[in-house]
Structure 1
Amino acid sequence: MAKRIPKVKGFDQTLNVIKEGYEFIPNRTKKFNSNVFEMRVLGGKRAIVISGKEAAELFYDNEKIERQGTLPKRIVKTLFGKGAIHTTTGAKHKDRKSLFMSLMTENNLEYLRKLTRNYWFEDTARLQSKEQVNVFEESTLVLLKVAFRFADVPFDTPERMEQFAKDMNSMVDSFGSIGTVYSGYKKARDARTRVEDYLEKQIKLTRKGKLFPEEGSGLYEFSHWKDMNGKQMDSRLAAIDLMNTIRPLVAINRFISFGVLAMHEFPGERVKVAEDDNSYAYKFVQEIRRYYPFVPFLPGKVKQNFTFDGYKFDKETMVIMDIFGTLHSESLWNNAEQFYPERFENWDGSPFDLIPQGGGDYYTNHRCAGEWMTIIIMEETMKYFAREIQYDVPAQDFTVNRQKLPGQVKSGMIIENIRNNFDRRR
């Protein structure tokens, strides 16, 4: 006989999820002393919440859980785009995912590393010209340039590029609504439309032979790719999925501001990143991704009846995977609330415990294809801030509010008096 799943009382918990943010699920798993509980969300829809490494293994089992049709429509329209790969499943998903993964060649990733390093160096003069720099905002623009160049998408005017950078933030901020009615919905929709329009124009120019992106770049591959039936993607859908290779790179601005915050609050970390070899930068980046709030949870639905940990899961039931709680589970991470990069010294690389951007296999699951890119960009950016420049950190609000989605440093992380970290007189 199946065990009874603990239940959160109340018809709908959507507003409570928004109110408590990243803490909502951990608060309930602690209350119930269970990594499985039930609640109702999105208008009273039944959902089973699961947390932990074993739960992640279940969530990314394609035979038991699927993702198609589970994302709130408003989030799809603002964050991912209608028809995006995130909304597909089965053979169609694997086929489309192969396109994304084709960009992850060794040469492409090394090119991304060089681009990141070069664009931060290029930005130094701009940083020095400002009285104060908001790291969150500045990194948005730098990362947009990196992402466009990596995809071989032509830059628009400086003014339009700054608008596109703001648009990317609007799209990511839309996640905080969890699909409810909110005032920023139109702003986020308009933001997505602006960038999609521009990318679709580049795709059409490429297909007409009026633009010549490098083979192997995002613009080239998305413009020319054909699916398993030999059919070329609609130009709008191609623009949407191309956007989904660019937007996640720009969203790394949150990790960058977290990283600069960590080097300020734990000064020894900056010294270690600056003086050690690349292995410490890697560990530092992984701990940023584990420690600070990014993706709170992800939805799926039961594909076929099964039992997990003694609990019965019925077909079509919504399943919510606790991402943040898994990253802060004391059973998985010793002293989980301590910032400690050395914990990754002997980490086994499991695809089911460090899951800030999803879990499972890159090729067959919904794990973010850009995770390798995130790590590369973060490594080079953190080394830039640790090794190449000096700066002062004025008084400000360093709060990272875990009750607000998506996570962000309250101040954006302000620095000032930027100078080169070398002496020309030597």
Structure 2
Amino acid sequence: MTDTPRPAARPRPAPGGPEPLGTASRRAALRLLDAVLRRGEPLESALAHATRALAGGPDRGLAHAIAAETLRRMPDLDALIDSATRQRLPDDAKARSALRVALVQALALGTPQHAAISTVLPLVDGGPRKLVHGVFGTLMRGNAKLPEVPTLPPAVAERWRANWGKDVAEAAARAIAAPPPVDLSYADPARVLPDATSLAAAHARVPAGSDIATLPGYDAGEWWVQDIAASIPARLFGRGSGLALDLCAAPGGKTLQLAAAGWQVTAVELSESRAARLRANRDRTGLAFDIAIADVLKWSPATPGDAVLVDAPCSATGIFRRHPDVLHRAHGGIVAEMADLQARILKRAAAWVAPGGTLVYATCSLEPEEGEVQIERFLREHPDYAIRAVTADELPAGIAPEPEGWVRTLPGMLEQAGGCDGFFVARVQRASA
């Protein structure tokens, strides 16, 4: 952003004239925001339908960028809007949504003011159009700015402060200021990009926005995209040659890790469309594993596994840096619902571990109900299992095990190196027969 005073926004063309170039992308961005905020859909899941009318990839990318940045900055955008209106607009008012889209472009994405407003005004009619134009102009003439560190949604900030403390909540706010770097996991540690940052064996970190398909080794299938924290669960099994069961496996990063480490892997996935990503990753990397399209609450393996990974469905609040929509979707009801599902999956998976075998439970959640509370309950209900403590030398540099023997990654960890997703990982071992 700049301190130079901005000119007043140019008025839109007369009603009935052609829409300004780029209006369709803004209309798609509004559809995306509506899908997330009103219907509770994940941003990525809503993308295809919301952008179906757009001609090409760049237009879809712009719609996604506008929606994602709006979700990163929404409390601060709303504070600006409320400062320039006599009466507060309802949260779901079309005028508020249009103003969010116009303001985030002008104040965060570098869009010229006239383009930011002229491509949004056709999306509202009548009095709301005049209101949007007036509020936008007032804020631009007043040299409105967004804070460098975004404000977390109040309910999220309160919950994370209560669970993890003020410093972690503040680190989370800093973490959503910009998209994070991209982590790559390698099948062969010797093939890691020599000029990339590496925080662990078989890991490389490249800048945000890197063109993934052009990086060395992509076509050869030498690596796959996977956050450093997401690589921890499979690392805790080490190398092996026995049967490994990867439950709820798609998109398959952990499956690929297990296969690369020598395990004979069966990846279980409920969704056929998500399983297609598993197959695509298998084809690209050449790593061998079996895929079972099944509901783990109904499916059972033919034989117990020496290694069982429960990468459980969760609220996904730990991946808010890459998916800011979770900050607005993952309320307490969803956390409770996911925690119940995790408990049922863990109960079934406990019976599928061979005597003396290992189970790793993981969630990309920052909610204790989906982590610490869950594994403590599991241990109370399964006396034949005990924590097999994680050691520091098993983890990426800068991440340490908790005193209880499990792993909790939080906002603020690895911050100087680009951060990491929020994860909970616990390794338990079944008693020998």
Q: Structure with the greater relative contact order (CA < 8 A, sep ≥ 6): 1 or 2?
A: 1
Alignment TM class, shorter chain as reference: under 0.3
Higher helix share: 1
Q: TM-score, normalised by structure 1?
A: 0.24
Q: TM-score, normalised by structure 2?
A: 0.24
